[in-house]
Amino acid sequence: MKKIIYLFLLIALAASGYAIFFYAPEEVTQGIVQKIFYIHVPSAFAMYATLITGAALGLGYLIRRDDALDQWAVSCMEVALLFCTIVLTTGPIWAKPIWGAWWTWDARLTSTFFLWLILIAYFLLRKAFTGTEAKRYSAILALIGLLDVPIIMFAVKLWRGAHPSVLSAREYLPSEMRQVFILCILTIQFLAWTLVIIRKSIEAKRRG
């Protein structure tokens, strides 16, 4: 079963890569650098999904003290950290040719960076404490990190900044771009949740 999942994931990744570079048209004003959009934005969606799920599982652990819930929670949070890092890496690569700077302290960028620090702190807490304390404190921090999600999502509308509003911009995507965008969202979600399952399996074996 795992081999079939990995095969489908590989096919999805290959199809997405082909679609990005050979099917989606090049954006008129930004050029080829705009194609980072197909990685950057779906990675942000994967970050949101795994973070929200991880925080919810952490809350479940606080209520039920079920170790399996903590295993799933830490797995989700680790994948959330991965995709948050991808977002913060691809963003500046896209921004430099467009804005003329690798980084600006834009509201969305700043709030995303703050979330990245929270995710780093989550794992530092798990190293600093042991047993139920580590699980409890990290679950609480995950819930605090969850509060940053709506700030990131609506930062562009709440505060004017350089970052474009993806929610409005995607409505104006040409048909081919929109199709590739949807494909990349599905593929990166597939990748994210496959990584969560793999990470959960490793965590379960580690704890015995």
| Predicted pLDDT at 31 | 86
Residue found under tokens 């704890």: 207
In the DSSP assignment, the letter for residue 55 is: H
Residues 63 and 160 sit within 8 Å (Cβ to Cβ) = no
How many angstroms from the chain centroid is the CA of residue 4?
Answer: 24
Nearest-CA neighbor of 15 among 36, 38, 37, 44? 38
Q: Residue 39 has which token pair?
A: 């990685």
**Euclidean distance between CA atoms 93 and 105, whole angstroms:** 15
3-class DSSP state of 208: coil
Model pLDDT for residues 15-62, shown as the tens digit of each residue: 999 999 999 999 888 889 889 999 999 999 999 999 999 999 999 999
For the chain, what are the domain ranges? 37-207
Model pLDDT for residues 54-87, shown as the tens digit of each residue: 999 999 999 999 999 999 999 999 999 999 999 9
pLDDT band with cut points at 50, 70 and 90 for residue 11: very high
